[in-house]
Amino acid sequence: MVTPKAWTLPGSWASWPIGVKEAHRFDSIALCEGSPDFLAAHFLTRWEQASHYTRREVQSAPVALLGASVNIHLDALPLFAGKRIRIFPHADKAGYAAAERWAAQLESVGANVDAFNFGGLRQFNGTPVKDLNDSLAMEAASFREAERMLP
């Protein structure tokens, strides 16, 4: 039997995407799996808008689902309608399966969906990049290859 890593508070919905209501004014969304990736997405959205960065036209909002096993709550799906969504799945079997499920759900409401592939990217210590949080420690060559990660 597999036990969950965390429990949802009584009365809350584990399938509710964190930040989706706050993302209403943005045309694009960086959809992450898990809270560390959500924090990394916040960092990247601010960094890509900073004055020292050459491509400041990026305007994405971070949104997170806190586990690969959840589906997007049906009441939340309309909040994604018509938006450009880039999913940042974990580079594992559960992450890829979640990305496929979420993409199908999002496409059903008219969202334009793709997923970022971390394949071949490496952290500065040589280990593979497995998720968005790991990408913050990418080596220079991988960073140049994946410079534009957000939608």
Helix runs in 9-92, H state only = 35-47
Residue 134 forms part of a structural domain? no
- Residue 104 lies in domain: 30-116
Q: Quick one: pLDDT at residue 49?
A: 61
Number of domains in the chain: 1
In a domain, 97, yes or no: yes
- H, E, C per residue of 87-122: EECCCCHHHHHHHHHHHHHHHCCCCEEEECCCCCCE
Is 52 inside a domain boundary? yes
Assess if residue 136 is contained within a domain: no
Per-residue pLDDT of the chain in tens (151 residues, 90 and over written 9): 655 555 555 555 678 999 999 999 899 999 999 999 999 998 888 766 655 555 556 578 999 999 899 999 999 999 999 999 999 999 999 999 999 999 999 999 999 999 999 999 999 999 999 999 999 999 988 877 776 787 7
Q: Is 98 part of any domain?
A: yes
**16 within some domain:** no
Domain membership of residue 8 (yes or no) is: no
The pTM for the full model equals 0.86
